[in-house]
Amino acid sequence: MIVGHYDKPAGYGTRRPAGSPSWLLMWTQAGAGLVAQGGASAEVGAGDLVVLGPGVAQRYRVAPGAARWRFWWVHFQPRPSWAAWLGPYAKGGGCHLVPGVPEGLHERIDLAFGRALRDAHWVPPAVPAAGRDPATPAVVVGGPARELVLGAVEEALVLATAAARPAGTRQPGEGDERVRRVLAIIAAEPGAPHSVASLARAVALSPSRLAHLFTAETGRTPMQAVRQARIRHAAGLLEVTDLDVGQVAAASGFVSPFHFSRAFKREYGLPPRDYRARLRPDPARRGRQAG
């Protein structure tokens, strides 16, 4: 992992014909940049976040006509759970654009990246270094420092993707109040035995009317939204509890561990056990490897 901050004048640019071996995130604070990867391209400005996957030709530069481009950047390997947050913002070729993050969140995201830079070299039990020059990139030393930096990047990523607006979707607060109410019901209790009929009753609509309204406003059916909420809930349980896969499936509203494992793999790209193993390696196994 490498964390850095650039404030570049017109004429700056980078081109990688073979792509980057790591993922790259860029958060624009001011000015404008032009980013292209895998046939997708976008001009980014203040409040836009770009995430580029590895191994695909990429180039980025100060946008034509712009005097500067000020942005935070991080080279990293993502946690598996980040795929669900980035998915709605995919533009193709490994390029993800999270546009128009609300201005009220900019300072908090800036602080998260500043904290990542500060913590990049932290070795316990010393106090994390303060006042690092943001113009000097920091290579993360690993161990606790890596987890702190990943946590800060995750905070920025979750804030941006949860608050921004994928192309073709509505902002929170727009659209039908009954659809917003259904989304709130699903989010509050994803493991409940939801059905289109039960959700429709909760907002005094017929199932067919709810299905039409919900799909028109969110681009998903009600049960697709329920399934995604259940999978995210399950991912959280896998990360922070010792429940076995069957217990996680039941707590998240899935009728069987087999069905849960298939749905989880479709969303995250790997089965639940492998997902947990990547995040929480077995201490006994580590000890055997070290010996």
Which residues share a beta bridge with 76? 23
pLDDT greater than 80 at residue 182: yes
Query: Which secondary-structure segment (H or E) carries 252?
Result: none
Q: Are residues 54 and 141 in the same domain?
A: yes
> Is 79 domain-assigned?
yes
Can you say whether residue 60 is alpha, beta or left, with left for phi > 0 and alpha for psi between -120 and 50 degrees?
beta
Can you say whether residue 269 is alpha, beta or left, with left for phi > 0 and alpha for psi between -120 and 50 degrees?
left
pLDDT average, residue stretch 118-124: 81
Which residues share a beta bridge with 35? 42, 60
Alpha helices by DSSP H, 19-143:
82-86, 106-119
Among 132-141, 160-169, 233-242, 252-261, name the most confident range: 252-261
Of residues 91 and 155, more confidently modeled: 155
Of residues 79 and 210, more confidently modeled: 210
Q: Are residues 26 and 152 in the same domain?
A: yes
> Is 274 domain-assigned?
yes
Measured CA to CA, the distance from residue 203 to residue 172 in angstroms comes to 18
Among all chains, which residue has been given the structure tokens 């990049």?
A: 120
Per cent of the chain over pLDDT 70 is 88
Q: Are residues 231 and 104 in the same domain?
A: no
Q: Are residues 146 and 186 in the same domain?
A: no
Q: Are residues 35 and 111 in the same domain?
A: yes
Work out how many domains the chain is built from and give that number.
2
Structure confidence at residue 194 as a pLDDT band (50, 70, 90): very high
Query: Which secondary-structure segment (H or E) carries 76?
Result: strand 68-76
pLDDT at 130: 61
> Is 290 domain-assigned?
no
Measured CA to CA, the distance from residue 145 to residue 166 in angstroms comes to 32
Residue type, 166: P
pLDDT greater than 60 at residue 75: yes
Among all chains, which residue has been given the structure tokens 């299905």?
A: 211
Its pTM stands at 0.64
Q: How far is CA 172 from CA 123, 196, 218, 280, in A?
A: 41, 21, 11, 34
Residue type, 97: L
Measured CA to CA, the distance from residue 257 to residue 28 in angstroms comes to 42
User: Which range of residues forms the domain containing residue 192?
Assistant: 177-279
Helix axes 257-268, 222-240, angle to 10 degrees: 90
pLDDT at 288: 39
pLDDT greater than 50 at residue 230: yes
pLDDT at 250: 92
pLDDT average, residue stretch 203-221: 91
CATH code, domain carrying 229: 1.10.10.60
Q: Are residues 138 and 240 in the same domain?
A: no
Structure confidence at residue 287 as a pLDDT band (50, 70, 90): very low
pLDDT greater than 90 at residue 88: no
Measured CA to CA, the distance from residue 180 to residue 178 in angstroms comes to 5
